[in-house]
A and B are shown apart, each in its own frame.
Chain A
């Protein structure tokens, strides 16, 4: 690693933020039950960035929806700060792909959506702050249909951050973006994470993305999903994506999922 690189201190892993214990999720449809998640155990520390990867349809999104409180576990528990999760909560915001922004509200309206309990003046200050943070200055009165995919995604992240949550759940947030925009967005997300220090759980099917972003990568198996392996990414940010260590970690995960890294 070159000596001129700025090394950002690792996240303050004060304590356990999220704890998943013996989690099982079984879907029942037409009298047939399918096990989706099987005996998941996971701990995420305060301020940590964790990526969930696995083959498509394996249940990563189901796990994230269960963490977010949108699905109830069949057995086992999800707890945050020692408190069992019973439903969605503004302290933990779920970010969908960019389609989650409300098309009937302007950029300002979207960012201010969750701030209805604040006084008007305070709300305006918050909105202005996050408009600036995600680089949407000048687009305050624009509607989502007038924005590009990357801008919509930034808008949704801003809407989530505006309510000052402790945690963000991101469900393949950059999946619908082109590869150049996706690349920029990863940088933006890391920048925001480094300033705001939220605990992030990020679902992706892109292993490179996971290795570039996460402190730890949770590798899940095909359905019924179990946690196959948890890989600690011990490369400081900004990460050199052609370094031997990066390639080693990435190839290790590819192998774990059963993908040969030759096409």
Chain B
């Protein structure tokens, strides 16, 4: 096979489907041959999935999880982008804030769970707060880097045409940094989706994370556990590919080498 050859359209569909089918077959026979009573086979999971759909549980839980991500991620975007732009714009301010951020950033939002519960109690707000924390730092860091990587000649050109600092920020620096900001947002959304599941396992009684833990606790329904896991994967993938479409926008895609 020529590694540089562009695969045909049907090949690009066929091989991934074949790989998935193979995985399902392996899974099926692994369950069968091992004789496990705990882990479900793909067919049991499918039946579990249908059960969840009929009971209208699945859509509700997807909705709850998405709503929490929308609020937490939205707040992180609304606060993170302006803060990141300002810190990138004033390197002196960044030098003051950066050490604190670099310490806070590697702390998993999961570690914040006790703090979140003290601050917000057990409930929606705690979950949203955790998502916010997970998404906020990557967004700020992407903005700071994006702004400081804007080539000098773009700024000079902007100043040359008589732009005031605020105009320079909105008309030159922001659009020039936007591709990098988009990458940061996409990363942050991925993290938000990871965190929502964890947060829902402890703080609330709805959402896909709750579905996983509830299916296990109430009757060890591992078929439902796996069905919920697969749903989490599919929704996460959909979110990410939706976000990738932003990269194709004409005023952004130059930053992606397209």
Cβ contacts under 8 Å, B167 to chain A: 116
Measured in the bound complex, the distance between the Cα atoms of B171 and A144 in whole Å is 17
The interface bits of chain B over 245-256 (1 if a CB of A lies within 8 angstroms of the residue's CB, else 0) are 000001111110
The interface bits of chain B over 151-185 (1 if a CB of A lies within 8 angstroms of the residue's CB, else 0) are 10110110111100001000110011010000000
Closest B residue to A141 using CB positions? B250
Cβ contacts under 8 Å, B254 to chain A: 103-104, 143-145
Q: If the complex has contacts A143-B250, A143-B251, A143-B254, are A102 and B154 also in contact, measured as CB distance less than 8 A?
A: yes
Q: Which residue in A94, A102, A105 is a CB contact (below 8 Å) of B156?
A: A94
Chain A interface, number of residues (Cβ within 8 angstroms): 23
Cβ contacts under 8 Å, A103 to chain B: 254-255
**Are A114 and B153 within 8 A (Cβ)?**
no
The interface bits of chain A over 75-114 (1 if a CB of B lies within 8 angstroms of the residue's CB, else 0) are 0000000000001111011101001101111000000011
Chain B interface, number of residues (Cβ within 8 angstroms): 22
Which of B157, B172, B178, B255 lies at the interface centre, i.e. has the most chain A CB atoms within 10 A of its CB? B157
- Main SS class of interface, B: helix
Cβ contacts under 8 Å, A219 to chain B: none
**Are A90 and B251 within 8 A (Cβ)?**
no
Measured in the bound complex, the distance between the Cα atoms of B163 and A87 in whole Å is 12
Cβ contacts under 8 Å, A47 to chain B: none
Q: Which residue in B157, B175, B255 is a CB contact (below 8 Å) of A100?
A: B157
**Are A90 and B161 within 8 A (Cβ)?**
yes
| Top 8 closest pairs, chain A to chain B, by CB | A114-B161, A103-B254, A90-B162, A104-B175, A104-B251, A88-B160, A96-B153, A88-B159
By a beta-carbon cutoff of 8 Å, the part of chain B in contact with chain A is: 151, 153-154, 156-157, 159-162, 167, 171-172, 175-176, 178, 250-255, 258
Q: List 15 A-B pairs, Cβ < 8 Å.
A: A70-B156, A88-B156, A88-B160, A90-B160, A90-B161, A93-B161, A94-B157, A96-B153, A99-B151, A102-B172, A103-B254, A104-B251, A114-B161, A143-B250, A144-B254
